[in-house]
Chains A and B, each alone.
Chain A
Amino acid sequence: MNSLVLLVVLPLFAAFIIPVVAKFSPKLSLFTGPVVLCINLLLIMSAWIKVGSGSEAIFLGGFLPPVGIVFYIDHFSLLFSGLIAGMVLIVWPWDAKESRLYSLYMLLSAASFGLVLSADLFNLYVFYELLAVATYGIIAASPISKVPNSSATAASLRYLFISSAGSVMLLLGIAIIYTLTGTLNIAHLATMTTSLDGFAGLSAFALIAIGAGVKAEMFPVNSWVAEVYGTIPRQLSALLAGLVSKLAVILIIRMLLMVFQQQAAFDLLLVVGMLGVISGEMVAWRAKDMIRMLSFSSIAQLGLIFIAFSIAGSKGLWIGMALMLHHLLVKGGLFLMADRFAGHMGKLKGLAKHSPMAAAVFLVFVLSLLGVPPFPGFWIKLLLILNLAEQGGGLYHVAIATILLATVIETAYIFKFVRILYQKADADSTPINKNYSSSYTFAKLFALILLVSMLFVSPISNHLKDIANHSASPHIYINKILPTKQLGDRS
């Protein structure tokens, strides 16, 4: 099991050697990254089987927690590790002119693996920051390889300022937690929730939530979203909206589930989620071009995910996880589609006649996003509303009302979009780019996965429920990571 640390270390290794390899053979450097990711996929699969329904902890450096850094491995983290490897493979920049860009993609995936696996607060901060720096670079550099486009640099700079401020808040939150408890290990923190119960602990959570919320497109700190997604290649938008935002959500959720099980923390997340849903849907409704609509609907979906996580315990994790996977498929697929069909929505008129297949794929995605009955989106939304109703309490009812209102707004703009697809073409509409594009193929694949999962809704949801039950339990977490309460023992 100790070898699973290679998930993080191999991409780092690849990132370090790629610039040197590129000097001798550019071709080789291009393939280093995908090969490493494939090895990682194999590692993940073998670990998935080995872990079974249990979980494992890796003690880095051989130091027993809480003094050292720990990786915690269960099906939840392995699931997301697999998604990371898959997504990065899908959006791998095959046509980039710069070997350093490959290094950045490798660093991004290493940071993502670390963010999913690590069970140490400061280690999470380091990986979060690595993810952030790699992302700034990829955003700023990506269009350079194709178009000399400086607007991406400006978007990246604004993102850098917002996100760095967020990182510093994360650091402040960690400092407060350390001052109160004297430890950084999340399992160890979970054993002393009482010292974090007060106002100081809650504000530490708020600082962490806002700090990580920048990447998670959380309500007050998401003004970068439209600018960044508007200027970068669409595959990259798919990566950022589909995956990177989820990793930040996972960071927040881990803190919430393991350490801050207080009603005030849940309420905070609920309010932020509702505000995100409403603000996102309102802007998406008025958007005229596709990327803007997708960006703001992504903000709204992330808000929905935060609402789901405000349900305490494993149920919240279960629904939130389903929402995250669904959003990854749908928004990732839509952004990949937008690689070919972007711009003003009026230009898409007559798409259904021109390319029925593309229109059908669009239809699958948006209908599932909206939550029309047979699609998986419907079941998840239903589950969310039912569970919110079960919670009782005024705020949860407001949340139900918010979701319903948001669905109405969503219906308005999505049907506007669908109508455009099935309208007759006019002079304004552009003929579709006939060039082969791999992202369109992947979008079709995503739609296929969505349709297949429609047939297996109940086994999939049962499986997710098992994973969530296991991952949301602080007891299992603590027992696995802190097998003995002795401090400073060497294994």
Chain B
Amino acid sequence: MTLFAWLSSILVAVIVLTVTAFGLWWERKLAGRMQSRLGPTIVGPIGLFQPIADLLKLVQKEPIIPQRADRALFWLAPPLTTLFALLVAALVPFGPKLAPANIDVGVPLIIALGGLALIPVWMAGWASHNKYALLGAMRAVAQSVSYGVPLVLTALVPVILAGSMNLNSIVAWQHRHHWLVVWPVFLGLPAFILFILAMLAEANRIPFDIPEAESELVAGVSTEYTGMHFGFIYLAEYVHTLVGSAVASTLFLGGWDGPFGPSVLWMVLKTCLLFSVLYWLRWSLVRLRADQLMALAWKWLVPAGLALVLLAAVWTQTPWGR
């Protein structure tokens, strides 16, 4: 058992990091094509090794700690952002057997771990002793906090329908019935969309990327960071988006459930598809303003999430939902 735990953990970590690295390349390529550019072309065939080159570059850079920064927190925060973002991946089942941590309380734990990522982000911003970073940090916390509520609420919808907080059970339930976005569509689809919105906000992605809003806050939280520490913040964002896509696929798109072939491929396929759609959004939308984000979360998403939860509960009481 323990050996299996080790192997599957390493495997999932490798899958996540590979897909992230590939995702970096894919995003730049996709964005390039969307913008009548080519994207990376030089490093490796069709620029495939670009993320590796980026990593090598970042690793070599000089680490600079600003004068008045809180040195310990400044140094510790970026690796922690990546760590928390990665940890969530452990809870996502990539196959009926391939889940490093098949835990009965998976859903609340995923939300909790995902939400934790905001603390190192805040640490990074605060420790920099830079006004832009601090504004970014405060925005990050406020945004994470506001969108945490709809995130929990929409994640409750599959929990109620499947009657379990275990992600594998939820996927199994979707396997037996339908994928949640397919049926009950009036519950699954809105919940899915709300979940994606809240997840984007938690991962600080456009249109919710106000914490790093580089046209306003220069680089927000990561303003003072150099080298690999900057890389960690960057990586955390990507991992967060990727793992968020994986969670959304698990909760709403049937996870590893597919008509044929190995389940892990289906999971990766769904995740990457969702990931690409998120990048499509990213490259076509402008960002919202901080106060608009807050208004959107508290005024619309929270009540909508509550309504969905109650609707799901009503649905399970009806003969069709039993």
Q: Do A and B come from one complex?
A: no
